[in-house]
Amino acid sequence: RKAVIRITTGSQALDELLGGGIETLAITEAFGEFRSGKTQLAHTLCVSTQLPINLHGGNGKVAYIDTEGTFRPDRIVPIAERFGMDPSAVLDNIIYARAYTYEHQYNLLLGLAAKMSEEPFRLLVVDSVIALFRVDFSGRGELAERQQKLAQMLSRLTKIAEEFNIAVYMTNQVIADPGGGVFISDPKKPAGGHVLAHAATIRLMLRKGKGEQRVCKIFDAPNLPENVQIFQITPGGIAD
Ligand code: ATP
Ligand code: MG
């Protein structure tokens, strides 16, 4: 049995909420409105994953699948400096791929899995996991097929997490809740339905607070105490 490694988010408050950081052998999902910090957290994890274990890192490489074209190598530089690491060495350890269709996204996963069997990776980012599915299956009658293909992709992510002791961090979009009533305080819910809900080990709901403050809540975990934490997006990445 592989041992779980917990990778720091850069925020002690957020780490506490997660029981020490984002976990390997698991899928962490973050969803929330635009600019809530999903991609900034991904960038921070790209760096913190490379920290040694005793500094709450994963001592490993990073694979990044970007479906929205929002990865910024320039952003990695100040984050690496904040953690006292050499930015160019950090960038060299991030394998980046841009996906343009859901099939492309799936094939990239297969290629990355081959790389992971050769080199010590600890983090796989998929930002966003669902955007291309929503584009490629936008027709009214295509939902069932979309969910089936999405399930296939998610099962691949689960396999990667378990086979290579990887922390999978995937982002998700929010959609208007057609049911209304149930979500009176927040009429939005994560996209992807039950298929996505079941694949995620832990679901983080992010929202904007004051200024650069952000609020994170564990979503839909009836057996965990209701818990909310505040973090900040800073030039050096996610912090308290
Ligand atoms: P989307 O749904 O649009 O993808 P997101 O949840 O991925 O949104 P992010 O891109 O992670 O959102 O967050 C963007 C926010 O991060 C900006 O609005 C800004 O507040 C903050 N931010 C980005 N870069 C910096 C920086 N260098 N220093 C401080 N804050 C920054
Ligand atoms: Mg984003």
ipTM: 0.99
Q: What is the pLDDT of residue 227?
A: 84
Q: What is the pLDDT of residue 119?
A: 97
Which two tokens mark 150?
Answer: 């999405």
| Ligand 1, atom 28: closest residue by C-alpha | 235
Q: How far is CA 125 from CA 90, 137, 141, in A?
A: 15, 22, 30
- Helix, strand or coil, per DSSP, at residue 107: helix
CA dist 196 and 130 (Å) reads 9
- Residue 178 pLDDT more than 70? no
What is the number of the ligand 1 atom nearest to the C-alpha of 212? 20
CA dist 199 and 226 (Å) reads 21
Paired with 188 in beta bridges are 176
Q: What is the pLDDT of residue 23?
A: 97
Please state the rounded mean pLDDT for residues 216-235: 86
- Residue 181 pLDDT more than 70? no
Q: What is the pLDDT of residue 120?
A: 97
- Overall pTM > 0.90: yes
Ligand 1, CB within 6 Å, residue ranges: 32, 34-40, 70, 212, 233-235
Count of residues in the chain: 240
Q: What is the pLDDT of residue 1?
A: 78
CA dist 86 and 180 (Å) reads 49
Pocket probe for ligand 1: among 46, 233, 234, the residue whose CB has the most ligand atoms within 8 Å is: 233
Name residue 211's amino acid.
G
| Ligand 1, atom 3: closest residue by C-alpha | 34
What percent of the chain clears pLDDT 70, i.e. is strictly above it?
A: 94
Least confident segment among 50-59, 171-180, 189-198, 228-237: 171-180
Pocket probe for ligand 1: among 31, 40, 174, 204, the residue whose CB has the most ligand atoms within 8 Å is: 40
Band (pLDDT 50/70/90 cuts) for residue 179 is low
Band (pLDDT 50/70/90 cuts) for residue 223 is low
Interval between CA 75 and ligand 2 midpoint (Å): 13
Burial class of residue 46 (count of CB atoms within 10 Å of its CB; 0-12, 13-18, 19+): buried
Q: Beta strand 167-172 with 121-127: parallel, antiparallel or unpaired?
A: parallel
